[in-house]
């Protein structure tokens, strides 16, 4: 709390002192002009400025609370940037105007005295209103950044009380303060704080989808810094510097500090004292004639307070209301699910607010089985996101897993009623251990076959048997294509064995173009056995090297479910478009091998899928059979129809069937995702 209070304390002290000095000068001018009867008009203007500032703060708070998550982030980010602009303008204005502020205000009061009560009220309102609006906007943005309002409001209140005391002392001449040095020193600190607010605002705009680069991190120290330590808490609360920051945040922070601080320091050095003018004119001003027409003294003060409050109330009332049934649930490293009460059955939206100092995974679970009803990954500190889940009769709890630390589970609540929600049984690394072992065995056997087949292909070419080499090339290439799920573990071997010409300056003639596609180009473009002997030996050696390295290569268990979808994504992108055809016209043969690899992968994952989503596998099997029939119709014996030779109708059917298969495979990575809730 107290780490979040300092920026607000400073803004409250500085803005309060600015506003208090202005009020003091206005009052002193009227007293010296022997116009004490006009003091209520000054206080009316001041009261109006305070009422507008408080109403503005209420509108910001209630309007933002009723917005959807992304709109709320965009709204908060925009206002943070505006607040930075206001604060920047304020520190430069006060640096420039501090010495002449008294004389300028006396001149304005003198003119207002001659023009009636309304002008005097307006003068005091405008003089104080700016500080009030700046304070309201900055307090709102710092509260948003802190994720709570107690600290910022407490800090601001202390600052305003202290500023009031200082202004009273200055007015009564019991204190002497070098205001130029005070506003210069506080200006330097506020520029640093504003740089952090700017970074926070830009992050909100990224999360709201207004600005790009939300996942392009320049700094990611979440795993190496204890975000809950006192020093980390202090830095985050005062300067808004987070352990994880995007490139846009870092660049904006550094650029703002470099430019604004340089201009401010140069301006301080260049500023010279100017003589105060206008004192005699203000002090010698004649008291204007009293107004002939009088009204009750309470009418105008009541109006200036009531009008902003009514307008603010209309804004809040007419704004989009918060959907009925939504709950705002706070999560942190120590307190998960604060504010969670038993919801009604049906589709519910929970607004998850991370009030902690670490990013966290958040799960709505059945605590007795650990089944997951909904989840949010990577909920950043100080951010709010919606979690939509269907709730039926049963027991529910929130489980929060911080980036570093132990999982925290909320107290369970019981929902009465019928219906049936569909939770997902969480998957752990241990659950995927057996499928992974089975698949590694499959890949290992496939690599044994590949080494033998590339050896045959090498001997064909070295012996000058190019017709036989074309047949054996396709056999070996199909074997490799059937191992597609293991691409993620093949490291740079894959580029050497089956790399495309993409990015190679020389294309098919580039020295770094190797592997199956290099041999395909040569075999179907009339190159001699002598020209192809080198690439053939290199392919055979790379296949043997891969087989030797494979047992020690890492295979992330979480990648296994992803491959079920990714293999055929590549098939649709490269093989069914003919993009990788180097002359053999056998892209459909490669697609057929990819399909076989997908089928093998689904076989090892079947035990996990069957009880989690019993309808998925039958649907996918039906889709695979449909694609298989279309591919079978495209070849006769060893001859495969090139993609470009397919009829428009056949090609459309094949693309459509593969697309449908991809769509039905899409839920598998989510169903078998390794969850920290497990």
Q: Tell me the pLDDT tens digit for each residue of 641-669.
A: 999 999 988 998 899 899 889 988 988 88
| Residue 238, pLDDT score | 60
Over residues 619-644, the mean pLDDT reads 91
| Residue 127, pLDDT score | 64
Domain 327-415 carries which CATH code?
2.60.40.420
Q: How far apart are the first and last CA of the chain?
A: 33
d(CA 124, CA 109): 9
Nearest to 469 by CA among 538, 514, 516: 516
**Sign (positive/negative) of CA torsion 225, 227, 228, 234?**
positive
Reported as a pLDDT band with limits 50, 70 and 90, residue 291 is very low
Q: What's the whole-number average pLDDT of the chain? A: 79
| Residue 672, pLDDT score | 87
Lowest mean pLDDT across 131-135, 315-319, 428-432, 667-671: 315-319
Q: Is the pTM value of this prediction over 0.75?
A: no
* Residue count (the chain): 678
Reported as a pLDDT band with limits 50, 70 and 90, residue 502 is confident
d(CA 374, CA 392): 13
Reported as a pLDDT band with limits 50, 70 and 90, residue 283 is very low
Query: For residues 668 and 609, is the Cβ–Cβ distance under 8 A?
Result: yes
HSE of 28 in the Cβ direction (CA atoms, 13 Å)? 18
Token representation of residue 30: 């009227």
How many percent of the chain have pLDDT more than 70? 74
Lowest mean pLDDT across 52-56, 253-257, 283-287: 283-287
Q: Tell me the pLDDT tens digit for each residue of 223-252.
A: 456 555 556 656 765 666 777 788 888 898
User: What are the domain boundaries of the chain?
Assistant: 2-318, 327-415, 429-671
Calculate the CA dihedral of residues 456, 461, 462, 468 and round it to 10 degrees: 70
327-415 matches 429-671 in fold: no
Over residues 493-522, the mean pLDDT reads 91
Query: For residues 54 and 190, is the Cβ–Cβ distance under 8 A?
Result: no
Reported as a pLDDT band with limits 50, 70 and 90, residue 274 is very low
Domain at 429-671, CATH from 3.10.20.30, 1.20.1420.20, 3.10.129.10, 3.40.50.300: 1.20.1420.20
């Amino acid at each position: 709390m107290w780490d979040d209070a300092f920026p607000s304390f400073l803004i409250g002290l500085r803005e309060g002192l600015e506003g208090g000095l202005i009020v003091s000068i206005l009052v002193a001018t009227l007293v010296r002009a022997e116009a004490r009867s006009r003091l209520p008009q000054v206080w009316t203007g001041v009261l109006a400025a305070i009422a507008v500032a408080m109403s503005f703060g209420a509108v910001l708070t209630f309007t933002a609370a009723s917005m959807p998550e992304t709109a709320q982030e965009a709204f908060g980010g925009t206002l943070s940037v505006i607040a930075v602009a206001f604060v920047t303008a304020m520190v430069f204005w006060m640096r420039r105007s501090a010495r002449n502020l008294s004389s300028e205000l006396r001149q304005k009061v003198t003119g207002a005295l001659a023009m009636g009560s309304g002008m005097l009220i307006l003068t005091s309102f405008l003089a104080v209103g700016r500080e009030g609006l700046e304070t309201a906007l900055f307090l709102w943005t710092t509260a948003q950044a802190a994720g709570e309002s107690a600290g910022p409001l407490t800090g601001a209140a202390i600052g305003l009380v202290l500023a009031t005391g200082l202004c009273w002392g200055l007015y009564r001449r019991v204190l002497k303060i070098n205001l130029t040095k005070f506003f210069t020193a506080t200006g330097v600190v506020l520029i640093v704080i504003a740089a952090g607010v700017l970074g926070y605002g830009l992050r909100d705009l990224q999360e709201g989808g207004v600005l790009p680069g939300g996942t392009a991190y320049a700094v990611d120290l979440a795993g190496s810094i204890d975000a809950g330590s006192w020093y980390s808490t202090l830095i985050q609360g005062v300067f808004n510097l987070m352990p994880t920051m995007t490139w846009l945040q870092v660049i904006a922070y550094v650029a703002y500090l470099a430019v604004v601080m340089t201009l401010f320091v140069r301006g301080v050095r260049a500023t010279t004292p100017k003589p105060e003018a206008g004192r005699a004119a203000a002090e010698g001003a004649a008291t204007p004639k009293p107004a002939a027409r009088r009204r009750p003294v309470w009418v105008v003060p009541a109006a200036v307070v009531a009008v902003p409050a009514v307008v603010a109330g209309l804004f809040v009332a007419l704004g989009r209301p918060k959907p009925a049934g939504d709950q705002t649930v706070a999560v942190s490293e120590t307190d998960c699910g604060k504010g969670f009460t038993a919801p009604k059955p049906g589709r519910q939206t929970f607004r998850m607010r991370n009030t902690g100092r670490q990013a966290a995974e958040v799960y709505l679970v059945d605590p007795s089985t650990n089944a997951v009803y909904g989840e949010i990954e990577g909920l950043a500190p100080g951010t709010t996101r919606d979690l939509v889940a269907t709730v039926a009769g049963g027991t529910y709890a929130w489980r929060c897993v911080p980036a570093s630390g132990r999982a925290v589970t909320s107290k369970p609540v019981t929902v009465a009623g019928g219906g049936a929600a569909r939770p997902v049984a969480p998957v752990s690394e241990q659950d995927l251990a057996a499928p992974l072992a089975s698949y590694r065995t499959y890949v290992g056997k496939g690599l044994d076959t590949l080494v033998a087949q590339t050896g045959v292909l090498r001997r064909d070419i070295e012996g000058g048997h190019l017709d036989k080499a074309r047949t054996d090339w396709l056999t070996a290439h199909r074997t490799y294509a059937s191992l597609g799920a293991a691409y993620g573990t093949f490291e740079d071997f894959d580029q050497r064995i089956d790399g495309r010409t993409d990015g190679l300056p020389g294309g098919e003639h580039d020295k770094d173009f190797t592997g199956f596609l290099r041999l395909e180009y040569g075999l179907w473009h009339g190159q001699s056995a002598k020209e192809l002997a080198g690439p053939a030996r290199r392919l055979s050696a790379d296949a043997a090297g891969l087989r030797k390295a494979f047992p020690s290569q890492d295979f992330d268990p979480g990648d296994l479910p992803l491959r079920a979808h990714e293999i055929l994504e590549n098939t649709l992108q490269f093989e069914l478009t003919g993009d990788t055809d180097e002359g053999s016209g056998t892209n459909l043969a490669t697609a057929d091998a990819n399909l076989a690899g997908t089928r093998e992968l689904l076989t090892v994952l079947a035990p996990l899928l069957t009880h989690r989503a019993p309808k998925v596998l039958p649907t996918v099997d039906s889709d695979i059979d449909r694609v298989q029939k279309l591919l079978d119709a495209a070849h006769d014996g060893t001859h495969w129809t090139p993609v470009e030779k397919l009829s428009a109708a056949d090609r459309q059917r094949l693309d459509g069937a593969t697309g449908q298969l991809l769509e039905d495979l899409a839920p598998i990575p989510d169903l078998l995702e390794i969850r920290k809730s497990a």
